[in-house]
């Protein structure tokens, strides 16, 4: 399955009127006209504010570094000294992934002077505020200093924010977003928008750069739940892009901010509008973009899931059996589209009175979702008048009462989302790699303990695209002898959570789904490792 793009349905038109030609940003309402005029003025810049900063260190711990394997890890085979140092550093385990820092790719710029016994290197984390930074530095000094020939160790700490692992294949507006999280229920009225907004502001309070996209065009909730000073989306007339509005440091895009209220249009047109709102917005650099999904499993949901590489999904339900039936459809949709569901939120679960806990709508819907579909985490939200009132007042509950019970539940949900997204990123970035020392492709599909090897030529010969197989007749156009036995991939990049893109020396870019790779003939006689030239 390849990433699909929305069809060319009528899009939002970007235009100005004569009275706006003096300069300044245009409201999106002005841009939703039938004709287009030329614009030549500069956009204003929106300032970003953070409403909570005291939890940044905690977020940094949870968001610990998911990066690709550092090329220097192969140095172990090119020199004894380098191998000794990397072996020593591999004793240091990242607490989030349970993987050593060498495999995680944190070791950079390794320099060794064997004559003087001096070793220097850099540990690159994804945030300068990581609270375990000092622990990493201390452990790195200790394990390397134990080597008998080492006289002096110099460790430098740095930070490089995690980058999207398949940014090159995305629309320009989404290329600097590290994680895209869908909040979905597939049933209306269960509090999905409440969960999406409060999760977003929880992540912002933990120190992340966050955006919220309200994907419900028929009944957008975001304008009611937040109170930005500027309640109209604006346009950059030169770039023809949408500038999100801002509330308490979180970037916001909703059709409700387009001056249109609620849409009255057919499904295909809605899919085109959502695609344009999402992909042409200037989101900038975000750690998390939270998408408030509309109810259902139709065109709009499929468009979002296929156009946008969702990192993970959070499922919202209520205790009733009817809610479970509808939610199960959504979970199956995400499963087919290879989007991991990382948490279930059971809203309106219970209330406390007279020292007792009551479950007025019954129990078990959330637990049933967790058990039936293997989703690892379940969070219960109580029936709380303040939670409902905050959604209507324009101030999210986690902002209005950051120390309350509801805020604590969202804090736990936020930690879960951060940790699971980091693990998913790490799994995806290392799922398919090329091992030059044995000239084989290593495959370890996410959520699978099995690792196997494939011959590069076999992978290339098993391409099923139109360039290799006639789509009408099924005739194999790519012949066995067309591919040299010693072919090696030039680059392997993730394509969402379900496939990789492999670039070959002849310039061909092959899309290889994990399911297909698992069906290819595997290497049994593993070749002996050979020295790899740096």
> If you ran DSSP here, which 8-state letter would residue 298 be given?
S
Q: CB under 8 Å to 153, separation ≥6 — which residues?
A: 118, 119, 120, 140, 141, 144, 145
Give tens-digit pLDDT for 337-372: 788 888 888 888 878 888 888 878 777 667 777 778
Q: Are strands 312-317 and 177-184 parallel, antiparallel or unpaired?
A: parallel
Between 112 and 159, the more confident residue is 112
Local structure of 234: helix, strand or coil? strand
Q: Which two tokens stand for residue 113?
A: 């002077």
% of the chain exceeding 90 in pLDDT: 20
pLDDT at 153 over 90: yes
Give tens-digit pLDDT for 477-533: 888 888 899 999 998 888 777 788 899 998 888 888 888 898 899 988 776 666 555
Rg (CA), the chain: 25
CB 348 within 8 A of CB 381: yes
- Domains of the chain, earliest start first: 172-429 (3.40.50.300), 432-519 (3.30.2020.30)
CB 318 within 8 A of CB 427: no
Between 490 and 97, the more confident residue is 490
Helix (H) or strand (E) holding 154: strand 152-159
pTM above 0.85, yes or no: no
């Amino acid at each position: 399955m390849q990433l699909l793009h929305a069809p060319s349905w009528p899009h939002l038109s970007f235009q100005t009127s004569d009275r706006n030609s003096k300069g300044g940003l245009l409201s999106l309402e002005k841009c939703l006209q039938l004709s287009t005029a030329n614009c030549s003025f500069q956009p204003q810049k929106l300032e970003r504010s953070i409403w909570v900063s005291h939890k940044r260190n905690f977020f940094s711990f949870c968001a610990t570094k998911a990066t690709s394997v550092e090329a220097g890890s192969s140095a172990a085979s090119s020199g004894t000294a380098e191998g000794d140092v990397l072996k020593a550093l591999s004793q240091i385990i990242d607490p989030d992934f349970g993987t050593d820092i060498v495999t995680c790719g944190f070791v950079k710029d390794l320099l060794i002077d064997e004559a003087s016994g001096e070793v220097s290197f850099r540990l690159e984390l994804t945030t300068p505020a990581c609270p375990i930074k000092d622990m990493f530095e201390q452990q790195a000094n200790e394990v390397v200093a134990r080597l008998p020939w080492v006289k002096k160790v110099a460790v430098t700490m740095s930070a490089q924010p995690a980058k999207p692992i398949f940014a090159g294949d995305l629309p320009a507006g989404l290329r600097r977003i590290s994680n895209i999280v869908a909040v979905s229920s597939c049933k209306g009225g269960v509090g999905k928008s409440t969960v999406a907004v409060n999760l977003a502001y929880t992540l912002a309070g933990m120190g992340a750069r966050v955006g919220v996209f309200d994907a419900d065009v028929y009944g957008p909730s975001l304008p009611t739940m937040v109170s930005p000073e500027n309640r109209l989306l604006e346009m950059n007339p030169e770039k023809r892009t949408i500038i999100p509005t801002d509330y308490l440091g979180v970037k916001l895009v909703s059709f409700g901010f387009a001056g249109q209220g609620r849409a009255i249009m057919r499904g295909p047109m809605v899919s085109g509008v959502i695609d344009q709102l999402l992909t042409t917005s200037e989101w900038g650099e975000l750690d998390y973009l939270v998408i408030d999904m509309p109810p259902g499993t139709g065109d709009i949901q499929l468009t979002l899931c296929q156009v946008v590489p969702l990192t993970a999904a959070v499922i919202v339900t209520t205790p009733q059996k009817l809610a479970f039936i509808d939610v199960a459809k959504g979970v199956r949709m995400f499963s087919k589209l290879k989007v991991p569901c990382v948490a279930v939120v059971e809203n309106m679960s219970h209330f406390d009175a007279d020292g007792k806990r009551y479950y007025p709508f019954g129990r078990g819907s959330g637990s049933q979702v967790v058990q039936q579909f293997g989703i690892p985490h379940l969070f219960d939200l109580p029936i709380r008048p303040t939670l409902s009132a905050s959604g209507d007042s324009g101030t999210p509950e986690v902002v209005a009462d950051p120390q309350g019970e509801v805020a604590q539940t969202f804090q736990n949900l936020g930690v879960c989302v951060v940790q699971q997204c980091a693990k998913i990123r790490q799994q995806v970035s290392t799922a398919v790699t090329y091992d030059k020392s044995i000239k084989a492709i290593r495959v370890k599909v996410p959520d699978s303990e099995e690792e196997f090897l494939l011959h590069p030529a076999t992978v290339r010969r098993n391409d099923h695209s139109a360039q290799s197989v006639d789509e009408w007749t099924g005739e194999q156009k790519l012949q066995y002898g067309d591919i040299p036995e010693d072919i090696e991939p030039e680059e392997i990049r993730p394509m969402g959570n379900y496939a990789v893109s492999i670039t070959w020396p002849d310039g061909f870019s092959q899309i290889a789904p994990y399911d297909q790779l698992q069906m290819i003939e595997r290497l049994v006689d593993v070749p002996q490792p050979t020295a790899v030239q740096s």
